[in-house]
Amino acid sequence: MSTLEIRDLHVSVETETESKPILRGVNLTVRAGETHALMGPNGSGKSTLAYAIAGHPKYQITSGTVLLDGEDLLEMTVDERARAGLFLAMQYPVEVPGVTVSNFLRSAVTAVRGEAPKLREFTKELSGAMKSLAIDPAFAQRGLNEGFSGGEKKRHEILQLELLKPKMAVLDETDSGLDVDALKVVSEGVNRFSASGEVGVLLITHYTRILRYVKPDFVHVFVEGAIVEEGGPELAERLEAEGYERFAKAGASK
Ligand code: ADP
Ligand code: MG
Ligand code: MG
């Protein structure tokens, strides 16, 4: 059983001219079997948190730690993080012409398992996973992210979860531009993934609407680079009714 521990994390973003502090001491623990929603207004630093955990070079950890099962995640390479059982879905996956979904997923599986699966076996595994997620088999031969709709991007993300079987998933959901179809794909995928009760999910989101389909055990309100309030699912309902305004003020006065 896995635990992701974020302790007093401070992160700055490197721009051409400056190093701008964004995260101001984030504390968050996600245990296997738990689904957490991290919710905050635009620009509060949610994606910065996801990028920092992913090891994106533009995001400088100025202090604090991130541990996965007691191991220092921040000392690991990106591949090592994946091998340790961490899954990170980024907001804007890049388009790679000439690389198919199937090629990409085989490389990802290779990185996580430490050896390349035999092509025949992988093809079988992939088609099984796609079938169980009701994804059209033709999707495997599409160019990676080429002309993907919001729904297709989400299907691809969920397909990765299914194949890579991580212990801990950090999902940064813009949900802006996601239609109801895409929202359902990702929700069903997350619910399917968390159903085992043996994995942890950190779902990062701006809108409360995804939480109509995914029921978090814990909700964290994130404002100006720090968590300002925590609670259960009822907190998401309050956010839906009241917005972030009140929390923004509370955060600013701290
Ligand atoms: P959120 O995901 O909550 O909308 P972000 O983490 O994307 O917030 O952004 C938080 C702040 O950090 C914003 O002020 C944003 O402009 C800044 N920021 C994030 N990434 C970069 C970047 N790569 N370059 C410059 N500024 C950035
Ligand atoms: Mg944003
Ligand atoms: Mg974001």
CATH code, 36:
3.40.50.300
What is the Å distance from ligand 1's center to 43 Cα? 6
* Ligand 1 neighbour 11 (Cβ under 6 A): no
Identify the pLDDT of residue 191. Answer: 93
Is 58's C-beta closer than 6 angstroms to any atom of ligand 1? yes
Name the domain count of the chain. Answer: 1
Q: 150 in a domain, yes or no?
A: no
Q: Which atom of ligand 1 is nearest to the CA of 48?
A: 6
Residues contacting residue 245 through CB under 8 Å, at least 6 positions apart = none
Does the residue 125 lie in any domain? Answer: no
In the structure encoding, which two tokens stand for residue 182, read together? Answer: 């895409």
The reply to whether 116 falls in a domain is no
Distance CA 99, CA 144 (A): 6
Average pLDDT of 178-188? 81
State the chain's mean pLDDT as an integer: 90
Distances (CA, A) of 144 to 72, 98, 103, 132, 228: 31, 8, 9, 21, 38
Q: Which domain does 14 fall in, by range? A: 3-92+167-253
Q: Is residue 51 part of a domain?
A: yes
- Mutate-to-test residue for ligand 1 from 22, 58, 203, 220, highest number of ligand atoms within 8 A of CB: 22
List the one residue out of 143, 206, 157, 210 whose CA is nearest residue 179.
210
* Residues 12-30 pLDDT 10s: 998 899 999 999 999 999 9
Q: Does any domain span residue 63?
A: yes
C-beta 2 within 6 A of ligand 1? no
With a pLDDT cut of 90, the percent of the chain lying above it is: 63
pLDDT tens readout for residues 144-161:
888 888 788 888 888 999
What is residue 178's predicted lDDT score, i.e. its pLDDT? 72
**53-81 exposure pattern, b = at least 16 Cβ within 10 A, e = fewer:** bbbbeebbbeebebebeeeebeebeeeeb
Tell me the ipTM for this assembly. Answer: 0.95
